[in-house]
Amino acid sequence: MSPSQGPDGSLSARLAGRDNALNFVRLLLAVSVMVSHLWPTAGLHGQWVFDGDGIGGWAVDGFFVLSGYLIMGSRMRLSLRAYFARRALRILPGFWVCLIVVAFVFAPLAAWREGVAWSPTSATTYVGRNLALWIDQWGVDHTLTHTPYQVTWDSPLWTLAYEFLAYIGAGLVLSVALARRRPVWTTGALLVLASLSVPAAFGPLHITTSFWIHLLRLGTFFVAGMFLRSIAHRVPANAVLGIGSLAAVFVIGSLGFASHWTALPLAYFLLWVGAVLPVRIGARNDVSYGMYVYGFPVQQLGAVLGLATWPPVLNLVTCVAVTVPIAWASWRVVERPALRLVRTRPTPSEPAGLRRQPVPAGGSPTRPS
């Protein structure tokens, strides 16, 4: 047995290759985001909230955890140039096509159904002003005027800028020779600093700017995934640890410290589920990104068509069923072909614990490696 893989029961061994459920876990997280968006898009009240975050917020945290785990492996295997090329090709083409589809397909359909004039100018600026991942225009003029949530066509897109910033940070930090030689110490130090930064931001620093709040919080979950990747060959995929980690999340959250200290236990729980769950849905065709970026527009268009008046469960099931083929088309027509545009060669200097661990067909949370 190769020492690089760790014991057969380790996280690294159980998560190597495609024989794991990580893509299925990400798919569940994407559907969880759609569940949380049922409340605003259908005008419902009383969504479940745990320590300030709803289902969707916790799902996004989970996405960043899995992204950190998979992106750590990607950076350690690839040169910086190949790494950034692959990251850009993974996230941007699907995002750009989604903007176009929303602006020039969904918005005109909504305008026709609502009996208003669709604005090609506004549709064009919706695409152009949002191309760089930072969402500067949330809607298309005159559309969604008769829906419960008129603010935006695609609410989840705001997280993608933070995701890409995490890619950049991980890529640069792991370009330092010492960091590559000592990934455990590097990611461990980053996790400590990130975990301390959140209570400091809410406490003595009195940071109120949403950009920094989101960056620190989501960055902590991302770094937790990176840290577990660096020690995964030494950590067992153990049911006691998995269930105990979930219990720790609930205990910490019940005490009001979910934003401060839940990153590591949540990371272990999700990775353990991905390691032991005997489900291989999405192992080769990763539709989680498509589900994430198209789910909300489908729900908004559903509201335009009257689904908001349906029983909530039927509304949700219908929207999920419609989103799946769109997400599948996004993967097959846009995302997977884009990834084939760059050829990657492994770097020769990977630490033992990170070698020969091929990632699944999907590699980031919201996105494959």
Assess contact for 26 and 366: CB atoms under 8 A: yes
What confidence tier does 368 reach under pLDDT thresholds 50, 70, 90?
A: very low
Q: What is the DSSP letter of 116?
A: -
To the nearest whole percent, how much of the chain has pLDDT over 90? 79
Sign of the dihedral through C-alpha 57, 60, 66, 68: negative
- What are the beta bridge partners of residue 10? 236
Which pLDDT score is estimated for 344? 58
In tens, the pLDDT along 264-287 reads 999 999 999 999 999 988 888 899
Q: Which residues contact 92 (CB under 8 A, 6 or more apart)?
A: 133
Q: Which of 27-41, 45-59, 81-95 has the lowest mean pLDDT?
A: 45-59
Assess contact for 145 and 151: CB atoms under 8 A: no
Q: What is the DSSP letter of 50?
A: E
Instruction: Tokens 């960043």: give the residue.
Output: 64
Radius of gyration of the chain from Cα atoms?
20
Sign of the dihedral through C-alpha 160, 166, 171, 172: positive
Q: What predicted TM-score, i.e. pTM, was given to this entire model?
A: 0.90
Of the candidates 171, 152, 41, the residue with the CA atom closest to the CA atom of residue 103: 152
The residues spanned by each domain of the chain are 11-354
Cα separation, 265 vs 268, in Å, equals 5
pLDDT of 202 over the 90 cut: no
Cα separation, 337 vs 339, in Å, equals 5
pLDDT of 359 over the 50 cut: no
What confidence tier does 51 reach under pLDDT thresholds 50, 70, 90?
A: confident
In tens, the pLDDT along 68-117 reads 999 999 999 999 999 999 999 999 999 999 999 999 999 999 999 999 99
Cα separation, 224 vs 218, in Å, equals 10
Assess contact for 163 and 364: CB atoms under 8 A: yes
Question: In which element (H, E) is residue 26 found?
Answer: helix 22-42
Assess contact for 366 and 61: CB atoms under 8 A: no
In tens, the pLDDT along 152-175 reads 999 999 999 999 999 999 999 999
- The mean pLDDT value of the chain amounts to 90
Helix (H/G/I), strand (E/B), else coil: 346: strand
Assess contact for 183 and 174: CB atoms under 8 A: yes
In tens, the pLDDT along 282-334 reads 888 899 999 999 999 999 999 999 999 999 999 999 999 999 999 999 999 99
Helix (H/G/I), strand (E/B), else coil: 144: coil
Task: Name residue 89's amino acid.
Answer: L
Helix (H/G/I), strand (E/B), else coil: 361: coil
Cα separation, 47 vs 38, in Å, equals 9
Cα separation, 143 vs 300, in Å, equals 10
In tens, the pLDDT along 235-266 reads 999 999 999 999 999 999 999 888 889 999 99
In tens, the pLDDT along 14-30 reads 998 778 999 999 999 99
